[in-house]
Amino acid sequence: MKSAIVLALSCGALLAACGPLVQIGGNSPPAQSLLVLSATTPPAPYSGATPASATVGVEIPAVPATLQTLRLPVDTTATEVTYLVGATWAEQPNRQFQRLLADTMTAKGIAVVDARQVRTPPVRSLTGTLRSFGLDVTDPANPVVRVRYDAQLSGNRTATNVMLRRFDAVEPVAVQTPLAVAAALNRAANRVAVDVAGWVAG
């Protein structure tokens, strides 16, 4: 009897060392494809020195809880949100939107630097909140995608003013499939990024 108990404990220890027998979410089917954002005009590589006084840092936008996911939100009513079946982002949309902003601003000649990779922090910082980034079917006859970004542009720590501005873009959606919706969101996001770049440059 004693040897049987020892054997059972040994088997249990071996199973524990191998990890859980059932992985949470492991039985979910993988996504057929992952959705990404891309800048319409990719940035050219930097060459030569750039004055530190002209540099801008682009921070990852804050997002509401509905966008803290790889899924694509769908506003069905003023008080209800669902998610588009089959749509999965490769990375959270706010992180992809940050890179889209940086690439677009760089393509427009703005010196964008990553504060995590340089010893001298950028003189100006672009932060904000990505409030909307999904499909809106509250009007079933006119489904659209909506991108809304509340931007904040500030100088160094001694600056006394912060510039604030809201940027909106809406694109119609003819077919509510993941690829069609993602393509419309990419167009809307690029329109916002171009507007932001013009604002920062000005």
Q: For residue 3, is it within any domain?
A: no
Give every residue of the chain whose pLDDT is below 70, as ranges: 1-31, 47, 117-118, 156-159
pLDDT of residue 158: 62
Q: For residue 130, is it within any domain?
A: yes
CA angle 141, 182, 148 (to 5 degrees): 75
Q: For residue 59, is it within any domain?
A: yes
Q: For residue 173, is it within any domain?
A: yes
pLDDT of residue 30: 64
pLDDT of residue 10: 45
Domain count, the chain: 1
**d(C-alpha 134, C-alpha 83), whole Å:** 9
Q: For residue 12, is it within any domain?
A: no
pLDDT of residue 52: 81
Q: For residue 23, is it within any domain?
A: no
Q: Which two tokens stand for residue 20?
A: 């859980």
The string of pLDDT tens digits covering residues 104-123 is 999 999 999 887 766 778 88
Q: Which domain holds residue 165?
A: 33-201
Q: For residue 75, is it within any domain?
A: yes
